[in-house]
Amino acid sequence: MSDFRTPPLRRFFVLYKLLWIVGLPFAIAYLFWRGRRDPDYRRHIAERFGFYRKSLDSPVWVHAVSLGELRSAVPLIQRLLDEGNTIVTTHFTPAGRREAERVFATEIAEGRVQVIWIPLEFKWTFRHFFSTFRPRYGLVMEIEIWPEMIRSAAENSIALFACNAQYPLKSFSRDRDKSKWRFDLHSGFAGAFVKSDLQADRFAQAGCPHIHITGELRFDQPVPADHVSKGVAIKADINRPTVTITSVVKGEDDTYIQAIKANKDRLFIYVPRAPERFDETYDMLTEAGLKVARRSDLFDSDLTPIADPDVDVILGDSMGEMYFYLALCDAAIIGGSFVTKGAHNISEPLALGKPVIVGPHTWTIEFPIVEALAADAAVQVTDSEALNALLRSDAIPTTQAATAFFASQKGAVARTLAAIKTETQQPE
Which sequence positions are flagged as catalytic? 69
Closest-CA residue to 405 (of 329, 359, 353): 353
Q: Where are the beta strands (DSSP E) in 131-175?
A: 137-141, 160-165
d(CA 336, CA 345): 9
Q: How far is CA 336 from CA 5, 272, 275, 340, 341, in A?
A: 38, 10, 15, 8, 7
d(CA 411, CA 193): 13
Closest-CA residue to 288 (of 296, 280, 298): 280
**HSE value, Cβ hemisphere, 13 Å, CA-based, for 38:** 17
| Dihedral (Cα; 77, 82, 84, 87), 10-degree rounding | 20
- Residue 134 Rama label (left phi>0; alpha psi -120 to 50; beta): left
Which residues lie below 8 Å from residue 84, measured CB to CB, with a gap of 6+? none
The 8-class DSSP code of residue 60 comes to: E
CB 191 within 8 A of CB 230: no
The string of DSSP codes covering 189-225 is SSEEEESSHHHHHHHHHTT--SEEE---GGGGPPP-H
Which residues lie below 8 Å from residue 347, measured CB to CB, with a gap of 6+? 216, 218, 219, 221, 368, 406, 409
Closest-CA residue to 255 (of 380, 388, 384): 384
Which residues lie below 8 Å from residue 143, measured CB to CB, with a gap of 6+? 165, 166, 167, 168, 171, 364
d(CA 344, CA 334): 6
**HSE value, Cβ hemisphere, 13 Å, CA-based, for 37:** 12
Angle ∠(395,360,356) on CA atoms, nearest 5: 40
Question: Do strands 160-165 and 137-141 pair parallel, antiparallel, or not at all (unpaired)?
Answer: parallel
